[in-house]
Structure 1
Amino acid sequence: DSFEDSELGEIPKGWGIKPIGQAVKCVGGTTPSTKNPAFWDGGKNPFVTPKDMSSLTSPVILDTSRHITDAGVDKINSGRLPIGSVILSSRAPIGYLAITEVPVSVNQGVIAMICNKDLPNYYVLHWTETNMDTIKRNAGGTTFAEISKRNFRPIPVVVPQKLVLEAFVQQVEPLHKQVVLNLQESNTLASLRDTLLPKLISGELRVPDAEKFIEEAGV
């Protein structure tokens, strides 16, 4: 196989280089006014902040600590992001990463990358992680470092040939899906523990009843 020169050094012939902002759609978010209960009270739409991402054990968003209403979503220019978006904390600190497994909205501390078949989200996730030093070098800010969308979008990304990307996705996607399943099962078990343990300790629930409850939950 032959190689050719590029701004990033030698790359396989037939591969390309694009600014990440051209390869995927990069958007940001904002926080609806917390003084307006219409944006928050009873909200069911997951709202991602860097704080949510800081506690992740795997790069997957299944839910968030705060939720906003549909009216709150409408106040955010990027609105509700599609499942499969890659999100990056852009400050406080720069570098938390995840793929969204539910539709979410994001605040001003997050850059979201909406991917397509030309550059799949699994590739973008690993590209972002691998190039974190470059991303941080492009950050500004005096009080704390922040990578703006303006400074993030021009960062070059290597775009492999379609067949290579397809082969990459075939290898990575099953692994990612297994991670998601494991997290979902872990969350279910934690919820059952928090529900059943106090009742078992107090004597409100007997062990056979708890076992039946767990069986019905499909765990």
Structure 2
Amino acid sequence: MSAANHGIIVETAEGISIEASESARRLNALPSGSVFLSARGTVGLVTTNTIPCAINQSAYAFIPPEGKGPALRLAIESLVDRLRARAHGSTFSTITKQDLRESSIPDLNSAEVEDLCPVLNDLEELRIAKAKESRTLAATRDELLPLLMSGKITVADAEKRIAE
């Protein structure tokens, strides 16, 4: 989660087979658009996944109602400061289930939220597209820069490759 670019998970560091995922409930892949809240370590980090993925016991997962993922993410983000203030633990801070139960999340079925959801969903699509584009640009930079620095290719060579 901490490697999520702008709070968006577009890929995971590790994979899991379907068989392994189905072997234990906690390993089940959560659907795209789920919202995650880190409970330990980077306490209060909120992310959204764009691919099905599983999480470990250091985070909470929330599966939003259809079309309400961005609204749920924003609602959870609005609680983070209060949750961090309540986090406790002797070795490291932890957000507990009790902390979540005692927090109030706005009604996602209210007329106000319903009216906002189309706009929020459009903005979320743009946010995800920009995060993916940023990832692609970073990967391109990481691939080309060493080649340019070592002299293995020139800028003209790189431009020619792009044109092809």
TM-score grouping bracket, smaller chain normalisation: 0.7 to 0.9
For the residue of structure 1 that corresponds to 2:44, the secondary structure is strand
Match of 2:147 in 1: 199
Distance 1:102 1:161, change over 3 A: closer
Q: Deviations over 1:29-71 (max 9, x none)?
A: xxxxxxxxxxxxxxxxxxxxxxx32x44512111233333334
| 1:169 CA displacement | 1.4
1:64 corresponds to 2:12: yes
Q: Which residue of the partner structure matches residue 98 of structure 1?
A: 47
Identity between Structure 1 and Structure 2 (%): 29
Could you tell me whether the CA contact under 8 Å between 1:138 and 1:152 is conserved in 2? no
1:91/1:144 contact within 8 Å kept: yes
Question: Could you tell me how far 1:181 is from its partner in structure 2?
Answer: 1.4
Q: What is the 5 A alignment of 1:46-195?
A: 52-53=1-2, 55-78=3-26, 79-117=28-66, 120-136=68-84, 139-149=87-97, 151-153=99-101, 155-159=103-107, 161-195=109-143
Partners of 2:84 and 2:20 in 1: CA distance? 31
- Are the structure 2 counterparts of residues 76 and 173 from structure 1 closer, same or farther at C-alpha, using a change threshold of 3 Å? same
Aligned AA (2:140): L
Q: Normalization by structure 2: what TM-score?
A: 0.81
Unaligned runs of 5+ in 1: 1-51
The alignment's C-alpha RMSD in Å is 2.6
Question: For the Cα contact (< 8 Å) 1:90–1:147, is it kept in 2?
Answer: yes
Name structure 2 gaps, 5 residues minimum.
none
- Shift, 1:172, TM fit: 1.8
Q: 1:208 aligns with which of 135, 139, 156?
A: 156
For residues 191 and 93 of structure 1, do their structure 2 counterparts lie closer, same or farther at Cα, with a shift above 3 Å needed?
Answer: closer
**What is the SS of the residue equivalent to 1:87?**
strand
The answer to which structure has the higher strand fraction is 1
Larger Rg belongs to: 1
- For the Cα contact (< 8 Å) 1:192–1:214, is it kept in 2? no
Bigger relative contact order (CA 8 A; separation at least 6)? 1
8 Å CA contact retained: 1:92, 1:145: yes
User: Residue 111 of structure 2 aligns to which amino acid in structure 1?
Assistant: L
TM-score (norm 1): 0.63
SS for the counterpart of 1:68 is coil
- Structure having the higher helix fraction is 2
